[in-house]
Amino acid sequence: MVASPHPAVTAVRVVSVCAVVAVLTGCAGSASRQGMEPPENYFSMALPGLAEGENLAMSPVSNATGQLRSLQTPPPTIIRQALLEQHQRWAGTPYRIGGSSDSGIDCSALVQNVFLDTFNLELPRTTGDQVHEGRPIDRQELQAGDLVFFRPPGQYNHVGIYVGDGRFLHASSSKGVMISRLDNSYWQRYYWQARRALEPTNLAQLSNRYMP
């Protein structure tokens, strides 16, 4: 007869299993990547289309809608506006692997939340599943709302949402939710592919929501 494991051993095993599950649901969160991401700071950078000296991310309680509607490019403008508004909502949220809330979020959960809230489109939870959504597109064809994927060092891939002007919204494992440049040496080196998951029906719903 085999003796039952000690309660303390069982508890350790349960905690270990939970930790593994949390890691598998996240993206780009391996310890080997910490500190390897580019030294960029969106909060000191204004996006094209804003008045000189105006910073969209200056305050989380600023009038995002008014600022967004002042942007004219790139098309489709309405998607860009919506995504920048989502940046206002999530900016500064810390990265937490397996997280999906204001207290901490990983890259695939951010993408899932933004797509559901903005486009009423439910994407899978993980980067591994999101990479099969929609259709593949060339980097030169990128439009606001397209998914961009990266293969950085380590076990996990990374995903973000293109917002136009060569920038994408994502949850950085070292800096939290932010907007980064695709041509940054780090992200350019590990760029993998892009996919278009948005359908015309989703865009129509978005237009009805944001048009005055």
How confident is the model at residue 78, as a pLDDT?
Answer: 87
Q: How far apart are alpha carbons 52 and 68 in whole angstroms? A: 15
Asked whether residue 24 is assigned to any structural domain, the reply reads no
Residues of the chain with confidence (pLDDT) below 70: 1-26, 28-75, 200-212
- Of 18, 27, 132, 158, the catalytic one is 158
How confident is the model at residue 77, as a pLDDT?
Answer: 84
Asked whether residue 183 is assigned to any structural domain, the reply reads yes
Catalytic-residue membership of 170: yes
How confident is the model at residue 182, as a pLDDT?
Answer: 97
**1 to each of 4, 8, 9, how far by Cα in Å?**
9, 20, 19
Are β-strands 158-164 and 167-172 bridged in parallel, bridged antiparallel, or unpaired?
Answer: antiparallel
- The two structure tokens encoding residue 29: 């969160």
Catalytic-residue membership of 6: no
Catalytic-residue membership of 18: no
Q: Report the percentage of the chain scoring pLDDT > 70.
A: 58
Asked whether residue 97 is assigned to any structural domain, the reply reads yes
- Nearest CA-CA partner of 186 in 168, 204, 211, 207: 168
How confident is the model at residue 201, as a pLDDT?
Answer: 61
Q: What is the CATH number of the domain that holds 129?
A: 3.90.1720.10
- Of 6, 27, 87, 170, the catalytic one is 170
Asked whether residue 181 is assigned to any structural domain, the reply reads yes
Looking at the structure of the chain, the number of domains it has is 1
Q: Which residue range forms the structural domain that includes residue 189? A: 33-50+58-210
Asked whether residue 4 is assigned to any structural domain, the reply reads no
How confident is the model at residue 181, as a pLDDT?
Answer: 98
- Of 18, 27, 107, 132, the catalytic one is 107
Asked whether residue 10 is assigned to any structural domain, the reply reads no
